[in-house]
Structure 1
Amino acid sequence: MPSATPAGTAAATRAPRAAPPRRLLSLAGLLAALVLVVGINALSEAFLGRYRIDLTEQRLYTLSDGTRTVLRSIPEPITLRLYYSSRLGKEIPVYAAYATRVRELLHEYAALADGRIRLEFYEPEPFSDVEDRAIAYGLQGVPVDQSGEQVFFGLAGTNLLDEERIIPFFQPERERFLEYDLTRLVYELSNPQRPKVGVMTGLPVNGEMRGPMGRPTAPWAVMTQMRQFLSVQDVPLDAAEIPPDIGVLMVAHPQNLAEKTQYAIDQFVMRGGKLMLLVDPHSEAQAARPGPGGVPNRDTASDLPRLLEAWGIAYDKDRVAGDLRGAMRVRAGERDRMQAVDYVAWFTASGPDQISRDNPATGRLNQVTVASAGFLAKRDGSAIEFEPLVTTSPEAAPIEAAKVRTEPNPTQILAEFRPGNAKLVLAARIRGEVASAFPDGPPAPPEGEQAPERKEPHRARSEGPANIVVIADSDILEDRFWVRVQDFFGQQVATPFADNGALVINLLDALSGSDALIGLRSRGESRRPFELVDEMRRRAEAEFRAREQALQKRLEETEAKLRELRRGTGDGGRADPVLTPEQRAAIEEARADILETRRELRAVQRDLRREIEGLQTTLRLANIVAVPLVVALIAIALGIWRIRRRARRAEEPREATA
Structure 2
Amino acid sequence: MKAFIRWLKGPQSDFLLFIIVLVLLNLAGMRSFFRIDTTKSKSYSLSQSSKQLVRTLEQPLSVKVFFSSNLPSPYNNTAQYVRDLLSEYAGAANKQFSWETFDMNNPESQSMARSYRLNQIQIQELKESEVGFKNVWMGLVLTYADRIEILDGITSSEGLEYKLTTKMTSMINAVSALAGLKGQADLNLYLSEDLAAFNIQGFSSIEPSVSKAAEAVNKANMNRIRYNYVKPAQADVESLSETYGIPLIRWTNNKDGSTGKGIIGLVLSYNDTFRLIPLQMSQSLFGSYGIAGLDDLEKNITENLASLVSRSTEIGYVSGHGELSLQDAQSGAANLAAYASDMYGFKEIRTAEEEIPSNISTLIINGPTEEFGEEELYKIDQFVMKGGKLAVFLDPFIEKQDQMAMYYGMPPSYEKNATGLEKLLKAYGVEPAEGYVMDKQCYSQSAPGKGKTEFYFAPVIHQSGLKNNHPVTSNLSYVLFLQSGALTLNDAASASGAEAHVLAKTSKESWLQKEITALDPSYIFPPAKENMGEYNLAVLLEGSFKSAFANAPAKGNDEKAGTADAAGTAKTSAGAQNALVSEAHVSSGIQRSAVFVAGSSKITSGALIDEEGGQPVAVFVRNVFDFLNGSEDFCYMRSKGLSRNVLDKVEPVSAAVAKLFNQYILPLLVAVAGLIGRHMKKRRTKAIQKRYAQDENAQEAVQ
| Counterpart among 120, 136, 140 of residue 155 in structure 1 | 140
The reply to whether residue 116 of structure 1 matches residue 96 of structure 2 is: yes
| Counterpart among 436, 442, 447 of residue 328 in structure 1 | 442
The amino acid across from 1:111 in the alignment is G
Question: Cα deviation per residue 1:155-184 (whole Å; 9 max; x = unaligned)?
Answer: 221211x22333222132xx3322222222
Residues 317-356 of structure 1 mapped to structure 2, 5 A cutoff: 318-323=434-439, 327-331=441-445, 336-339=449-452, 341=454, 343=456, 345-351=458-464, 354-355=466-467
The amino acid across from 2:419 in the alignment is L
CA separation of 1:624 and 1:290: change in aligned 2, threshold 3 A: farther
Tell me the SS of whatever aligns to 2:519.
coil
State the distance in 1 between where 2:620 and 2:519 align. 30
Residue of structure 2 equivalent to 1:170: 154
State the distance in 2 between where 1:645 and 1:381 align. 69
Q: CA RMSD in A?
A: 4.7
Contact 1:85 1:151 (8 Å CA) reproduced: yes
Contact 1:279 1:473 (8 Å CA) reproduced: yes
Contact 2:428 2:545 (8 Å CA) reproduced: no
State the distance in 2 between where 1:342 and 1:418 align. 21
Contact 1:79 1:117 (8 Å CA) reproduced: yes
The reply to whether residue 255 of structure 1 matches residue 369 of structure 2 is: yes
The reply to whether residue 235 of structure 1 matches residue 349 of structure 2 is: yes
Contact 2:428 2:548 (8 Å CA) reproduced: no
Residue of structure 2 equivalent to 1:550: none
CA positional deviation for 1:196 = 1.7
CA positional deviation for 1:395 = 1.8
| Counterpart among 376, 387, 390 of residue 275 in structure 1 | 390
Residue of structure 2 equivalent to 1:298: 413
Residue of structure 2 equivalent to 1:525: 642
CA positional deviation for 1:504 = 3.4
State the distance in 2 between where 1:129 and 1:342 align. 57
Question: Cα deviation per residue 1:295-315 (whole Å; 9 max; x = unaligned)?
Answer: 765357654335436735553
Residue of structure 1 equivalent to 2:169: 187
CA separation of 1:268 and 1:303: change in aligned 2, threshold 3 A: farther
The reply to whether residue 74 of structure 1 matches residue 57 of structure 2 is: yes
The amino acid across from 2:370 in the alignment is N
State the distance in 2 between where 1:149 and 1:18 align. 57
Tell me the SS of whatever aligns to 2:44.
coil
Contact 2:551 2:585 (8 Å CA) reproduced: yes
State the distance in 1 between where 2:443 and 2:55 align. 45
CA positional deviation for 1:503 = 3.9
Aligned length: 525
Tell me the SS of whatever aligns to 2:341.
helix
The amino acid across from 2:665 in the alignment is A
State the distance in 2 between where 1:407 and 1:261 align. 33
The reply to whether residue 104 of structure 1 matches residue 84 of structure 2 is: yes
The amino acid across from 1:426 in the alignment is A
Contact 1:84 1:154 (8 Å CA) reproduced: yes
State the distance in 2 between where 1:289 and 1:148 align. 53
Residue of structure 1 equivalent to 2:263: none
CA positional deviation for 1:633 = 2.8
Tell me the SS of whatever aligns to 1:101.
helix
State the distance in 2 between where 1:374 and 1:18 align. 85
CA separation of 1:519 and 1:33: change in aligned 2, threshold 3 A: closer
Tell me the SS of whatever aligns to 1:229.
coil
State the distance in 2 between where 1:506 and 1:408 align. 31
After superposing the two structures, state which structure 1 stretch, 359-368 or 501-510, moved more: 359-368
CA separation of 1:164 and 1:442: change in aligned 2, threshold 3 A: farther
CA separation of 1:329 and 1:378: change in aligned 2, threshold 3 A: closer
State the distance in 2 between where 1:316 and 1:34 align. 67
Residue of structure 2 equivalent to 1:11: none
* Identity within the alignment, %: 19
Residue of structure 2 equivalent to 1:631: 674
Contact 1:237 1:257 (8 Å CA) reproduced: no
State the distance in 1 between where 2:479 and 2:492 align. 31
State the distance in 2 between where 1:321 and 1:443 align. 41
Residue of structure 2 equivalent to 1:591: none
The amino acid across from 2:165 in the alignment is T
CA separation of 1:436 and 1:185: change in aligned 2, threshold 3 A: same
Contact 1:272 1:462 (8 Å CA) reproduced: no
TM-score (norm 2): 0.62
Question: Cα deviation per residue 1:9-56 (whole Å; 9 max; x = unaligned)?
Answer: xxxxxxxx997899999999999888766666666667xx34322222
Contact 2:508 2:533 (8 Å CA) reproduced: yes
Residue of structure 2 equivalent to 1:589: none
Tell me the SS of whatever aligns to 1:176.
coil
| Counterpart among 333, 357, 375 of residue 486 in structure 2 | 375
TM-score (norm 1): 0.65
CA separation of 1:612 and 1:80: change in aligned 2, threshold 3 A: closer
Contact 1:79 1:157 (8 Å CA) reproduced: yes
Question: Cα deviation per residue 1:107-132 (whole Å; 9 max; x = unaligned)?
Answer: 22112112221213234569x56445
CA positional deviation for 1:256 = 1.1
Contact 1:429 1:469 (8 Å CA) reproduced: yes
CA positional deviation for 1:527 = 0.4
Tell me the SS of whatever aligns to 2:541.
strand
Q: Any unmatched runs of 5+ in structure 2?
A: 125-130, 178-311, 559-569, 571-581
The amino acid across from 2:47 in the alignment is S
Contact 2:68 2:103 (8 Å CA) reproduced: yes
Residue of structure 1 equivalent to 2:328: 208
Tell me the SS of whatever aligns to 2:456.
strand
Tell me the SS of whatever aligns to 2:347.
strand
The amino acid across from 1:98 in the alignment is T
CA positional deviation for 1:240 = 4.8
The amino acid across from 2:314 in the alignment is K
Larger Rg, first or second structure (1 or 2): 1
State the distance in 2 between where 1:381 and 1:20 align. 82
Question: Cα deviation per residue 1:260-316 (whole Å; 9 max; x = unaligned)?
Answer: 755654565466543221112258xx7999999667653576543354367355534
Question: Cα deviation per residue 1:495-534 (whole Å; 9 max; x = unaligned)?
Answer: 44x2x4444344434444455534423222340135xxx4
CA positional deviation for 1:374 = 1.9
Q: Indicate the structure with greater strand content.
A: 2
| Counterpart among 570, 579, 597 of residue 470 in structure 1 | 597
CA separation of 1:650 and 1:112: change in aligned 2, threshold 3 A: same
Tell me the SS of whatever aligns to 1:432.
coil
CA positional deviation for 1:104 = 1.4
Contact 1:220 1:479 (8 Å CA) reproduced: yes
State the distance in 2 between where 1:81 and 1:343 align. 50
The reply to whether residue 198 of structure 1 matches residue 178 of structure 2 is: no
Contact 1:394 1:420 (8 Å CA) reproduced: no
The reply to whether residue 134 of structure 1 matches residue 131 of structure 2 is: no
Contact 1:342 1:410 (8 Å CA) reproduced: no
Tell me the SS of whatever aligns to 1:371.
coil
Contact 1:135 1:141 (8 Å CA) reproduced: no
Residue of structure 2 equivalent to 1:143: 122
Residue of structure 1 equivalent to 2:538: 426
